[in-house]
Amino acid sequence: MKTHMKLCLQQVDIESIPFPMYLKNSRGIYCDCNPAFLELLELESFEDIVGKSDAELSWKDQYDEIQKREQLIFESNSEQEFELQIMSENGLPITLLIHEKLIYVSSKNASFLFGTCANITRYKTFKNKQVDSEHYFENILLNLPGQIYWEDKDGVFLGCNNQVALSAGYKSPKDIIGKTDYQMPWKNQADALKKTNLRIMESGIAEVLEEVGTLNDGRTLTYLTNKAPLRNFDNEIIGIIGISMNITDRKILERTQEDNILKSEKKAETSAANLEQVIACMPGSVYWKDKKGVYLTCNEAIAKVLGFQSSKDIVGKTNADLKEILSWDQEVLDSFNKVEEEVIRTGVAKINHEELPFLDGKGNKVYQLSSKVPLFNENGQVDSIVGISIDITALKEAQAREKAALADAIAARKEVEAMQEQVQLFKHISGTVAHELLTPLRAISFGVTAIEKQFPKFVEAYHVGKQANITLDEISERNLEIVKQAFAHITKELNYSFLFIDMLLSNIRAEKFIGEPAAECDIADIVNDAIERYPFSDVQRKLIHADLTNRFRFMGSEKLFVHILFNLIKNALYYVAKARKGVITIWCEKKNAFNELHFKDTGEGIAPDVLPKIFDQFFSQTEHGAGIGLTYCKMVMTSFGGDIICESTEGEYTEFILSFPKIS
């Protein structure tokens, strides 16, 4: 292969050429390259690239764009120069400047693409940046409290601070770069961490949440974590960035975190631009202040929290300046200053302390969990502090909502318990009343039966006395027949009453409604029977208007449905009388799946806030009601396979619609 390359390049010894070069055919397949090219790509042998296309290499996501560019070179016999960014074996991006042109090899009677490239990563990265600024940002990042880390979309660590490295058992953050959570001591929690990271990257919204992680020493700790999407300079999401603070034991954490921060190494291979971008992307408020409390720099997050247009609006100000601008209480200002002065005076970090709530630029109350760490100069003296503050307002509000929800749940439980007591009391009273009613009703039934049996003898004795010319009051044959029919009517009403009381007792004891076996019924016959039997006054009877032209039949119980009509008539008469206006109209309608009976009065109507409750057990708006009549109606109609609903406009009308399944 090396000999072939030399033939193509007219016997030039390419191994002596210091810059990388390669040869590709018209199908985009690498035919050969020199050792400098292998070294640039961190490949071990020619076999790692020769015979392959760009689609098989680490920059395969750019394959289509490369193919279009190279196809243009073959078609137009032109030259092109472009940049290509790839990832090195240790996970760091490399930017290549590539120059490609077409060469013709007569011995092969074919054209090849000849390319040279140069690594311009350092030039691209460090252009217009000063070495001093790199040390500045590096010092801030390494000394930030808590665990700070950033990963790419595949969960591969791109960088972190010393705290993450120490918790994983490594000496330096460099040892973690290129690894994933599945290779860390907290690998058992890796699935949960991955799920959270994917959710945040998909939504593009930062989250504050609690996570658990196992350390290298076997301890499992709980962290308050703030995660946000990691974006590039084009605002594209390229990964995840997080800050995790150990809240397992704040006092223990304060001592261990302080030691770890003081022992942090002041080295990092991340460029100043990347470090600046990382700090800018941090979801919490990050700031650096001198000994006098003057803001030296901060990220955009703190500007957003305080309601400023830019972090530049904060630099140069003090807490006292912010107090005047944002109308803070003096207590808030004193609290902020006290903590910062203590950190500067003692040289001891203040970790995970909850600040007093303060007002943001919109006048909203903000709660923060803050950590403030001293920075030392070359003489070991504190000359400034670095702080991170995480907005926990949503967490505090959620806790308040949970507390209120708990109070509501307790109140609801007490209401349910009171309702259950009311139900039990009602069952007891109803059962007692039902039993007490049965005794006199049975006595009446026995008396009526006895009189009915003796009545023919009374009639016969009356006729014998009249024939014997005994003076007796005159009783017409019509009146005798009316009395005879009254026995049957009384017996029928008694049987209705016995049935209703028996069902009442059964339903008091049962968990669900118990009715009669269903039979085929005629709606018009039952409505007419109910109107005939109801004890109207003369004035009340004139209020009822029934149009049963569209009569239908349904499966149910005549006796149960009569009591539904009695309930509706009683309620309608009450509200018509209360409103001193209105009539009651009853009519039938036939629909596709159901037949309907409409029962409407134009009396007082029902208020909108009351209407949804009228079928609730024990809910009543009348002086005579117990709140069980419409509940009974609902249960009976449900047992028929139908339903009852109500429509009403307050002051105008109330209409009940009873729906019945059609008989097949």
- 415-424 pLDDT, tens per residue? 767 666 665 6
How high is the pLDDT of residue 156?
94
The tally of CA atoms less than 13 A away on the side-chain side of residue 597 is 26
Q: How far apart are CA 571 and CA 577, in angstroms?
A: 10
Specify the amino acid at residue 101.
K
How high is the pLDDT of residue 433?
58
For the chain, which residues score pLDDT lower than 70?
A: 1-14, 16, 89-90, 107-108, 126-145, 250-258, 261-282, 416, 418-439, 441-443, 445-446, 448, 450, 452, 484-485, 487-489, 492-515, 619, 621-627
Angstrom distances, CA of residue 450 to CA of 445, 446, 491: 9, 6, 12
Angstrom distances, CA of residue 31 to CA of 6, 26, 46, 83: 12, 10, 10, 21
Q: Which of 170, 279, 183, 160 is nearest to 231 (CA)?
A: 279
Helices then strands, counting H and E runs in the chain, come out as: 18, 24
Beta strand 544-547 pairing with 584-590 = parallel
DSSP annotation of 619 reads -
- 25-70 pLDDT, tens per residue? 989 999 988 888 888 888 888 898 899 998 998 888 888 988 898 8
Q: How far apart are CA 10 and CA 286, in angstroms?
A: 60
How high is the pLDDT of residue 1?
39
Specify the amino acid at residue 64.
D
Note whether 527 and 548 are within 8 A (CB): yes
240 - beta bridge partners? 151, 229
Could you tell me the two tokens for 647?
Answer: 């429509």
How high is the pLDDT of residue 437?
66
How high is the pLDDT of residue 212?
87
- Helix residue spans in 77-151 (DSSP H): 121-126, 131-143
How high is the pLDDT of residue 507?
47
Q: Which of 13, 6, 60, 57 is nearest to 32 (CA)?
A: 6
Q: Could you tell me where the beta strands, DSSP code E, fall in 172-270?
A: 207-214, 220-231, 237-246
297 - beta bridge partners? 288
Could you tell me the two tokens for 385?
Answer: 């502090």
Taking every pair of C-alpha atoms in the chain, what is the biggest distance, in angstroms? 161
- 337-360 pLDDT, tens per residue? 898 889 889 989 888 888 888 887
Q: Is 146 left (phi over 0), alpha (psi -120 to 50) or beta?
A: left
Note whether 115 and 100 are within 8 A (CB): yes
Could you tell me the two tokens for 448?
Answer: 């009526």
How high is the pLDDT of residue 296?
86
Q: How far is CA 504 from its chain centroid?
A: 45
Q: Which of 352, 155, 143, 148 is nearest to 241 (CA)?
A: 148
Q: How far apart are CA 519 and CA 504, in angstroms?
A: 20
